[in-house]
């Protein structure tokens, strides 16, 4: 057997979502587009929710659970482009206002909550630090979970020697050297602040733009590992309308990095599968691995129309495609729910990470990179 390289660390860990599955259901899960940049957004939200609410009521959803969602919908557009609510008869278990809309509105009444869209939003929100620098210092923004974690500035007060002058004569070299010294000092302070912010948000990207000489000095002051990760953009600290352009560039780079991470994990999966080693593919093999807490990264494609069933017991690892197989685990009769939701519950409950992948990437929409391989 060939030696395996470590699994890339790009998948989403979400221990905070485990408690959702520990609550008593059934659950209403709602994902709703709440576009803020349209006229009469509130009434439109309400109209979309009424249509979804009627469908949920027809499928058996309780009035108590639906009523817990009602007050969260109409003004949701003021908080973001997407709304996620998970509720039971006893209250709201989870509420997220997301910066992007779901691909389609979803309403589901089920023994398990559906959290794949939450995971996909987290996956798309790779943390980054954006730096716009000049010879006086820098403006820095750290972003995590698609929200600004911190905005700050770094660098010294200008002082008399920050800008090069042209005094002429014997003193010119001395003035230029003092200016360079001031710029280097500012670059050191900016670099130190970058290191702090990158560590704070566990940044996936470091994006830098600004004055050419300041950027050059900053590169020299950054630790070697960060220097290799810098992505340079055309940006300025000046209030000249470039902020929106810089943000658009940052958004594009984040999306590119997220896609690259997904490709990396799929390549790792294919490598392990090709070696007949740490891989499982298809619903049956993946649930079998989940039942042994063997999964390191669960690879999932979730079509909202996919209602294939699976069975689960009280413990996260008690999962099977059939009720008979679940009984053989000693889990009793168990409960039936959507296959994808059963798999995600088992993954999160056993400490696995999850990566949402394109529909054609894995057989049957489910696969896994494993923690260990079964003996042959």
Please choose, from the candidates 346, 341, 359, 337, the residue with its C-alpha nearest in 3D space to the C-alpha of residue 114: 341
Largest CA distance in the chain: 93
Q: What is the pLDDT of residue 141?
A: 92
> Could you write out the DSSP letters of every residue in 262-285?
HHHHHHHHHHHHHTTSSEEESHHH
Among 35, 53, 55, smallest CA distance to 45 is for: 35
Distance CA 172, CA 176 (A): 6
Q: Which residues contact 285 (CB under 8 A, 6 or more apart)?
A: none
0.75 surpassed by pTM: yes
**Residue 93 and residue 91: Cα distance in Å, rounded?**
6
Please compute the mean of the pLDDT values over residues 3-26 and round it to a whole number: 84
H or E stretch covering 369 = strand 366-370
Q: Which of 348, 357, 161, 336 is nearest to 261 (CA)?
A: 357
* Mean pLDDT of all residues in 156-181: 50
| Residue among 275, 354, 280 nearest 4 (CA) | 275
| Mean pLDDT, range 104-126, rounded to an integer | 95
Q: How confident is the model at residue 234 (pLDDT cuts 50, 70, 90)?
A: confident
CA–CA separation, 25 vs 89, rounded Å?
Answer: 8
Judged by average pLDDT, the poorest of 24-38, 167-181, 312-326, 362-376 is: 167-181
Arithmetic mean of pLDDT, 106-126: 95
Encoded tokens for 112:
């398990």
> Token pair of 170, please?
């014997």
The arithmetic mean of pLDDT across residues 70-84, rounded, is 92
Q: What share of the chain is helix, strand, coil (3-state, %, to 5)?
A: 40, 25, 35
Q: Which of 334, 342, 337, 335 is CA-nearest to residue 298? A: 342
**Residue 192 has what pLDDT?**
93
Return the half-sphere exposure (C-beta side, CA atoms, 13 A cut-off) of residue 236: 5
Above pLDDT 90, what percent of the chain? 61
Q: Give the span between the Cα atoms of 108 and 86, in whole angstroms.
A: 10
The band of 242, judged by pLDDT with boundaries at 50, 70 and 90, is low
Contact 236, 242 (CB under 8 A): yes
- pLDDT confidence of residue 173: 53
Q: Which two tokens stand for residue 177?
A: 């050297």
162-188 core/surface letters (b: 16 or more CB in 10 A; e: else): bebeeeeeeeeeebeebbeebbebbbb
Measured over the CA atoms of residue 77, residue 29, residue 103 and residue 280, the dihedral's sign is positive
pLDDT tens-digit series, residues 291-310: 999 999 999 999 999 999 99
Question: 26 preceded by cis ω (within 30°)?
Answer: yes
Domain covering 128-259 in this structure, CATH number: 3.30.420.60
Q: What is the pLDDT of residue 325?
A: 95
pLDDT tens profile 39-55: 778 888 899 999 999 99
| pLDDT for 175 beyond 60 | no
Per-residue confidence (pLDDT) for residue 243, from 0 to 100: 65
**Between β-strands 335-338 and 309-312, what pairing exists: parallel, antiparallel or unpaired?**
antiparallel
* Owner of token pair 């809309």: 101
Model confidence pLDDT, tens digit, residues 309-368 = 999 999 999 999 999 999 999 889 999 999 999 999 999 999 999 999 998 889 999 999
Cα separation of 259 and 77, whole Å? 27
- Neighbour order of strands in the sheet with 366-370: 279-281, 366-370, 295-300, 353-356
> Among all chains, which residue has been given the structure tokens 């709440």?
34
pLDDT tops 90 at residue 161: no
| 3-class SS of residue 80 | coil
- Asked if residue 136 has pLDDT above 50, the reply is yes
What whole-number distance in Å separates Cα of residue 180 and Cα of residue 159? 12
pLDDT of residue 164: 45
Hey, where are the domains in the chain? 26-110, 128-259
Q: Which range, 149-158, 235-244, 264-273, is most confident?
A: 264-273
pLDDT averaged over the chain? 88
Q: What is the pLDDT of residue 42?
A: 82
Q: Using DSSP bridges, classify how beta strands 366-370 and 279-281 pair: parallel, antiparallel or unpaired.
A: antiparallel
Which band of pLDDT confidence, cut at 50, 70 and 90, is reported for residue 170?
Answer: very low
């Amino acid at each position: 057997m060939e030696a395996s390289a470590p699994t890339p660390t790009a998948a989403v860990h979400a221990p905070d979502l485990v408690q959702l599955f520990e609550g008593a259901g059934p659950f209403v899960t709602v994902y709703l587009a709440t576009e803020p940049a349209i006229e009469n957004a509130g009434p439109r939200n309400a109209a979309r929710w009424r249509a979804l609410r009627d469908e949920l009521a027809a499928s058996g959803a309780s009035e108590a659970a639906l009523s817990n969602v009602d007050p969260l919908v109409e003004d949701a557009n003021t908080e973001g482009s997407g709304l996620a609510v998970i509720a039971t008869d006893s209250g709201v278990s989870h509420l997220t206002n997301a910066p992007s809309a779901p691909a389609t509105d979803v309403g589901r009444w089920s023994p398990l909550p559906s959290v794949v869209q939450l995971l996909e939003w987290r996956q798309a929100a790779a943390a980054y630090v954006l730096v716009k620098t000049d010879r006086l210092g820098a403006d820095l923004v750290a972003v995590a979970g698609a929200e600004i974690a911190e905005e700050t500035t770094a660098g010294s007060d200008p002082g008399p020697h920050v800008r090069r002058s042209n005094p002429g004569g014997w003193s010119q070299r001395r003035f230029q050297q003092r200016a360079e010294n001031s710029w280097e000092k500012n670059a050191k302070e900016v670099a130190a602040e970058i290191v702090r912010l990158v560590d704070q948000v566990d940044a996936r990207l470091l994006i830098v733009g600004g004055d050419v000489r300041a950027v050059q000095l900053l590169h020299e002051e950054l630790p070697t590992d960060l220097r290799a990760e810098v992505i340079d953009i055309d940006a300025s600290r000046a209030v000249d309308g470039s902020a929106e352009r810089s943000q658009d560039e940052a958004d594009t780079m984040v999306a590119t990095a997220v896609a690259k991470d997904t490709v990396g994990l799929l390549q790792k999966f294919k490598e392990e599968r090709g070696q007949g080693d740490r891989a499982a593919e298809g619903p049956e093999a993946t649930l079998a691995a989940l039942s042994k807490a063997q999964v390191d990264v669960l690879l999932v494609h979730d079509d909202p129309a996919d209602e294939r069933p699976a069975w689960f017991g009280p413990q996260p690892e008690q999962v099977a495609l059939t009720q008979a197989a679940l009984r053989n685990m000693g889990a009793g009769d168990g409960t039936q729910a959507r296959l994808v939701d059963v798999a995600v519950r088992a993954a999160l409950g056993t400490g696995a990470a999850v990566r949402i992948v394109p529909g054609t990437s894995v057989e049957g929409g489910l696969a896994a990179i494993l923690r260990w391989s079964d003996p042959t």
